[in-house]
Amino acid sequence: MIGTRGTRSAVALVGGLIAILTTAACDRAQPPAPVTAPPPAAAPATPAAAQPPRPVVERVSDSTDQLLHGKYLVETVAGCGNCHTPHQPDGTLDPNMAFAGAFVIEEPVFKAYARNITPDMETGIGSWTDDQIVNAIRNGQKRDGTFYGPPMSFGWYKRMSDSDVRAIVAYIRTVKPVRNEVPPSTYQIPLNGYGPMVTTVPDVPKTDIVKYGE
């Protein structure tokens, strides 16, 4: 009995020691978690290079005012500057020589120089009357009675109404006169005019959008 009691006491003592050690281990403070360094601050954005201001694009629209209507026709549907303004090496129109002529179009049967249609008195149309300019646009006829040749589309311009063609003349008279002597065009085809001469064409009502568009 004594031996058994002694053995139980030893076991109890060992169990007690284990319990004390376990409790002490659980009571000890846990080591602090490692401190994570904050992410580096983002570098300030590099400002974008300053962009040059975009050019202001002037909108040209139809108008009941004769000059504004003429500007609209010349600079849009009629496209007068496409041929009558010299082209720069990159293909754009030379703004300093607007409507001063000398743009050349060459085909097997002709070499045509667009005429100077600025109001210059000597090399342009400054000394022409309105009727003479209208006749040249519609009928392709010069002041001396002879005719201009292609590629100007006289067949289309014959149908231009009185108001439209005179609005074009009124606007062309306001552009900057440019002295620019243009070489004569040469043709290997007869230039006898473009059908019956037109002297007047009635206006088309703008309410008839199909006919007016035509």
Region 30-59 average pLDDT: 52
For the stretch 127-145, pLDDT in tens is 999 999 999 999 999 999 9
Between 50 and 173, whose confidence is greater?
173
Could you tell me which residues are beta bridge partners of residue 111?
A: 106, 186
pTM summary value: 0.71
Q: What is the DSSP string of 116-151?
A: --SS-TTTSSTTS-HHHHHHHHHH-B-TTS-B--TT
Lowest mean pLDDT among 21-25, 70-74, 185-189, 194-198: 21-25
Share of the chain above pLDDT 70, in %: 72
pLDDT over 50 at 12, yes or no: no
Task: Decide if pLDDT at 34 tops 70.
Answer: no
What tokens were used for 176? 């900057």
| pLDDT beyond 70 at 117 | yes
CA-to-CA distance for 138 and 134, rounded, in angstroms?
A: 6
CA distance 21 to 110: 116
Is the model more confident about 210 or about 20? 210
Q: What's the mean pLDDT in 117-134?
A: 98
**Cα(113)–Cα(104) distance, integer angstroms:** 4
Q: What are phi and psi of 166, to 5 degrees?
A: -75, -25
Buried b (16+ CB within 10 A) or exposed e, 53-73: eeeeeeeeeeeeeeebbbbbb
Q: What is the pLDDT of residue 62?
A: 81
> Averaged over 174-197, what is the pLDDT?
95
pLDDT of residue 6: 45
Percent above pLDDT 90 for the chain: 61
pLDDT exceeds 60 at position 8: no
